Amino acid sequence: MPVDVLVGLQWGDEGKGKIVDVLAPTYDVVARFQGGPNAGHTLTFDGMKHVLHQVPSGIFHPHIINVVGNGVVFDPVVFRLELEKLQARGVDGTRNLYISKKAQLILPSHRALDRILEEARGGGKIGSTLKGIGPTYQDKIGRTGLRIGDVLLPDFKERYAEAVARHATLAAFHNKELEIEAFEADFFSAIDYLRTLNLTDTEYLLNDLLKQGKRILAEGAQGSLLDIDFGTYPFVTSSSTVVAGACTGLGIAPRHIDKVFGITKAYCTRVGSGPFPTELHDEVGEQIRTAGREFGATTGRPRRCGWIDLPALRYTIMLNGVSELHLMKADVLDEFDEIRVCTHYRNPEGQETDQLPDLGALQTMQPVYTTLPGWKTNLQSITAPDALPEALKSYLRFLEQHLQVPIHIVSVGPDRVSTIHLN
């Protein structure tokens, strides 16, 4: 059986966790392929909200095997807290959970370095979540990082001490100290807990499951516009958030990839610094933020809000080879008389383009909008596609026409039941 991949098409926070939860019952495996505890996947069902950071979003389905792949950077303290919270809600998160021995470990010193390096940027901050993600990926690429499998070695503490010494040298370059002693007891306790879990070579596990005919859903974190190569660099994350990252982050060959589910909001948001052509700094942006409860699941920071951006979506659809779109949070726009859609950008010379330019040019672009009528309907009361208001149907047709990809799912509320399947 093939592997389907689910990716965010904007700057993250698109609602990927909900869609994984909705689609999961039709899969045997959910596998997370990149990112770390900087991700916050929010799932709502049975009147309760659940926020996952590193645990794959299939964890609430007992029949599903959940895999943390080698492309993930892994904070054992955060992971233990997640599993303990799941246990308190009656979910045994350890039973069907497998963690790659090749995933990189986030150390307390990585978190300290993250803050030191971000502060050193001054006014040029990239908006890091300060979870140690960037420094951990730096160590991975620099071939000095520690991996999950290292915790099983007899000299792990010596390896840890060597890593901390390297990080202390870097901190000293910025005239700072790591100040991590207060966090190390929790870290080593979490390492002991980690050793009790299923640590394995997940690339063999996943390929064996493929041979058995199992269906696998690869779950991405963040969004395609935060991709280390193709995002709005340098205001990006440190991993490959596009579909290609599923191959390197799980050890699955490209020929196994089948469907690509692209997740986008009916509008656009961004957390942290960086260009955002359709950002709204007025009461409309605040209305979207309030209606959409747009505050980071991981950081709690208010998200920047704006209208949907089709040039950016065309770009990420192209990069990912998206086969179907899932439109999230349509209900957030219920009260608007008009909905605006950015179809092009205009440069200072008056020339228009439907392509996403590089960072320097993007910062000078102005959005070109088409205005569509709002639906002025409470979408959360709707359960069938035929009952969707005509204005929303027109909005969906407009997006499909311009993006040349069918919309298969429309989310009309946070709960898993508030999901309209169109095809």
Cα separation, 363 vs 353, in Å, equals: 14
Q: Is 143 annotated as a binding residue?
A: yes
Q: Known binder of ligand: residue 144?
A: no
User: 329 labelled as ligand-binding?
Assistant: yes
Among residues 206, 245, 212, the alpha carbon closest in space to that of 65 is found at: 206
Contact predicate 132/107, CB 8 Å: yes
Q: Is 413 annotated as a binding residue?
A: yes
129 appears as a binding residue in the annotation = yes
| 3-state secondary structure (DSSP) of residue 294 | coil
Residue 221 among known ligand-binding residues: no
Which pair of tokens denotes residue 22? 């909705």
421 - beta bridge partners? 409
**Residue 412, number of CB atoms within 10 A of its CB:** 26
Q: What are 55's two structure tokens?
A: 């645990």
- In which residue are the tokens 């063999």 written? 204
139: Cβ contacts below 8 Å, ≥ 6 apart: 104, 110, 145, 146, 163
Does 57 count as an annotated binding residue?
no
- 265 assigned to a ligand binding site: no
C-alpha neighbours within 13 Å on the C-beta side of residue 56: 34
Cα(188)–Cα(185) distance, integer angstroms: 5
301 assigned binding-site residue:
yes
Check the annotation: does 419 bind a ligand.
Answer: no
CB 51 within 8 A of CB 240: no
**Residue 41 marked ligand-binding:** yes
- Give the residue from 238, 127, 122 showing the smallest Cα distance to 174: 122
For residue 196, say whether it is annotated as part of any ligand binding site.
no
Q: Which residues are catalytic?
A: 13, 41, 140
15 is in an annotated binding site: yes
237 belongs to an annotated ligand binding site: yes
Is 411 one of the annotated binding-site residues?
yes
- Is 42 annotated to bind a ligand? Reply is yes
176 annotated among ligand-binding-site residues: no
331 is in an annotated binding site: yes
Scanning 70-196, the segments in alpha helix (DSSP H) are: 76-88, 108-120, 133-141, 156-173, 181-194
Position 168: which residue type?
A
Q: N- to C-terminal Cα distance for the chain?
A: 22
Q: Tell me whether residue 401 is annotated as binding.
A: no
Q: Which strand (E) or helix (H) includes residue 246?
A: helix 244-250
The amino acid that residue 177 corresponds to is: E
Helical (H) or strand (E) element with 42: strand 41-45
> Could you tell me the two tokens for 164?
């901390």
Check the annotation: does 17 bind a ligand.
yes
Nearest CA to 196 among 93, 56, 71?
93
CA–CA distance, 36 with 239 (Å, rounded to integer): 10
User: What's the alpha-carbon Rg for the chain, to the nearest Å?
Assistant: 21
CA 123/CA 66 separation, integer angstroms: 40
Q: Is 16 annotated as a binding residue?
A: yes
Task: Give the residue ranges of the annotated binding site for GTP.
Answer: 12-18, 40-42, 303, 329-331, 411-413
Task: Give the residue ranges of the annotated binding site for Mg(2+).
Answer: 13, 40
Task: Give the residue ranges of the annotated binding site.
Answer: 12-18, 38-42, 129, 143, 222, 237, 297-303, 329-331, 411-413
Task: Give the residue ranges of the annotated binding site for substrate.
Answer: 297-303
Task: Give the residue ranges of the annotated binding site for IMP.
Answer: 13-16, 38-41, 129, 143, 222, 237, 301
